[in-house]
Amino acid sequence: MRQLTLLLLRHAEAAAAHDGQEDIDRALTDHGRAEALDAAECMQAAGLRIDLILASTAVRTRETAIIVAARLDIADELRYEPTLYLAEPESLLAPLRACPERAHTVLLVGHNPGISALAQRFMGGHQRIEMRTAGLCRVDFEQRCWRELRPQLAISFAVLR
């Protein structure tokens, strides 16, 4: 049976909203851009080859995903999913379950509190996880396809950043 790997990445640090600005339009700070680059370098150092990136449509997640994709040279495999914006854990699972079979390693770029809650579910729910900005977790599964993805099928969990 093949192994699937899921990487959960919280978006990097974003600027506070200014008067009249919608939350979805908040961009990364300079520090946030450096955090996103650091997360990409962490993935590279771990020898991870990402087949697909799924990111929320918020500016801060798109920018985080673009920085990671550019650093890892995988820009062609970047998809924006509107349902990931401020999604609850169960809503985060739906686009993952629709991933193509050719994708062995998928990176999901999302928001708190949903991404931390999903990480906690994959870890077994025994310990509280609060992912920091550009926080990165790796979850491995021994299963054939993404459509069968369930937190209880995780065989390993690691915080990488």
What domains are defined for the chain? 3-14+26-159 (3.40.50.1240)
- Token pair for 144: 């054939």
Long-range contacts of 40-46 (CB under 8 A, 24+ apart): 40/67, 40/68, 40/71, 40/72, 41/71, 42/136, 42/160, 42/161, 43/7, 43/68, 43/72, 43/107, 43/136, 43/160, 44/71, 44/72, 46/138, 46/160
Q: Supply the pLDDT for residue 126.
A: 72
Tell me what the pLDDT averaged over the chain comes to: 92
Percent with pLDDT over 90 in the chain: 76
pLDDT digits (tens, 9 = 90+) for 16-75: 988 889 999 999 999 999 999 999 999 999 999 999 999 999 999 999 999 999 999 887
* Location of structure tokens 């918020």: 58
Q: pTM for the whole thing?
A: 0.94
For β-strands 52-55 and 105-110, DSSP reports them as parallel
Q: Supply the pLDDT for residue 123.
A: 86
Peptide bond into 113 cis (omega under 30): yes
Look up residue 145 and give its DSSP letter: -
Q: Quick check: 113 pLDDT over 80? A: yes
Q: Supply the pLDDT for residue 108.
A: 98
Q: Quick check: 128 pLDDT over 90? A: no
Q: Quick check: 1 pLDDT over 70? A: no
From the CB of residue 47, how many other CB atoms can be counted at a distance below 10 Å?
Answer: 6
Contact in structure between 64 and 36 (CB atoms under 8 Å): yes
Q: Supply the pLDDT for residue 54.
A: 97
